[in-house]
């Protein structure tokens, strides 16, 4: 009897946590279909805000900028992060723990400090602020996430398979492309998708290193909020949520498939 009672309490507790986490998101999505311009009182269902959004040239340009920056930085960070993870896994050298620690520090550093540091660096190097500086900045903070995911995938790798393949005459390149890469590919894809989401949703670093003609979608939302909360902002946030949740679902699916293969 007590077990049943505690189980019910646990279910209620878990349910309250999920309500606390997702109710604000649900409200944003619902009010993106509200006819009311003020967005504070429900006046009926409409799709007008989405139609208006798709006709807004500034929003479309901001979306293209965010998508371009996220894709390019994800590709670069995935390559560098994977090479770093494989290299640090296979080779032992003095300062290895220091290198790994420095990569971890990039994750825990507050974004405000990183944004200021990157702005000062680009200013000293006289780099014009724009798409290029945003790609470099997003690549910088995305590499450690790819590195950690790929490294955790390599932790379960059986090195005897690699040794056996080399004993049979396979070259190091052949071993990497035929054995190591397929085994760590789910980790690479998961890390890449996490890097994409982080880049696509970033606000703080974008605020510091973006130029006047390189406005991203999160910065566009932030600027629209200065004129008050509107259903158009809710619609824009809903679209970003759909993209983010879609990618996170893909990450979980890839992790599940990778675990089954192992």
Q: What is the pLDDT of residues 125-149, one digit of tens each?
A: 888 888 999 999 999 989 999 998 8
- pLDDT, tens digit, 9 for 90 and up, residues 46-84: 888 888 888 888 888 888 999 999 999 999 999 999 998
Instruction: Reduce the DSSP state of residue 45 to 3 states and report it.
Output: strand
Query: What total number of domains does the chain contain?
Result: 1
Q: Is residue 20 part of a domain?
A: no
**Which residues fall within 8 angstroms of residue 50, CB to CB, at 6 or more apart?**
32, 235
Q: Is residue 52 part of a domain?
A: no
Q: Is residue 5 part of a domain?
A: no
User: 259 falls in which pLDDT band (50, 70, 90)?
Assistant: low
Q: 110 lies in which domain range?
A: 57-261
Give the model's pLDDT for residue 68: 92
Q: Is residue 175 part of a domain?
A: yes
Pick the more confident residue, 228 or 178: 178
Burial (0-12, 13-18, 19+ Cβ within 10 Å), 153: buried
Q: Is residue 232 part of a domain?
A: yes
Give the model's pLDDT for residue 155: 78
- pLDDT, tens digit, 9 for 90 and up, residues 169-193: 777 778 777 888 888 888 888 889 8
Q: Is residue 34 part of a domain?
A: no
Q: Any idea what the CATH number is for the domain that residue 169 is in?
A: 1.10.3720.10
pTM of the full structure: 0.80
Kindly report the average pLDDT of the chain as a whole number.
83
């Amino acid at each position: 009897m007590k077990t049943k009672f505690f189980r019910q309490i646990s279910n209620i507790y878990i349910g309250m946590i999920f309500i606390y986490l997702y109710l604000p998101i649900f409200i944003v999505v619902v009010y993106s279909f509200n006819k009311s311009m003020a967005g504070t009182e429900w006046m009926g269902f409409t799709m007008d805000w989405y139609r208006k959004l798709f006709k807004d040239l500034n929003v479309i340009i901001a979306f293209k900028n965010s998508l371009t920056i996220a894709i390019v930085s994800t590709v670069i960070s995935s390559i560098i992060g994977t090479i770093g993870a494989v290299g640090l896994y296979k080779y032992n050298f003095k300062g290895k723990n220091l290198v790994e620690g420095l990569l971890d520090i990039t994750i825990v550093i507050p974004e405000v400090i990183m944004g200021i540091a990157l702005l000062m660096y680009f200013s000293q190097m006289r780099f014009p602020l724009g798409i290029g500086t945003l790609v470099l900045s997003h690549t910088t903070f995305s590499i450690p996430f790819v590195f950690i995911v790929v490294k955790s995938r390599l932790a379960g790798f059986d090195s005897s398979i690699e040794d056996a393949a080399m004993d049979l005459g396979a070259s190091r390149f052949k071993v990497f492309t035929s054995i190591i890469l397929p085994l760590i590919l789910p980790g690479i894809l998961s890390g890449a998708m996490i890097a994409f989401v982080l880049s696509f949703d970033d606000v703080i670093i974008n605020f510091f290193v973006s130029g006047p003609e390189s406005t991203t979608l999160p910065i566009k939302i932030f600027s629209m909020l200065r004129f008050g909360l509107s259903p158009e902002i809710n619609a824009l946030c809903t679209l970003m949520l759909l993209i983010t949740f879609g990618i996170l679902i893909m990450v979980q699916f890839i992790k599940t498939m990778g675990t089954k293969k192992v």
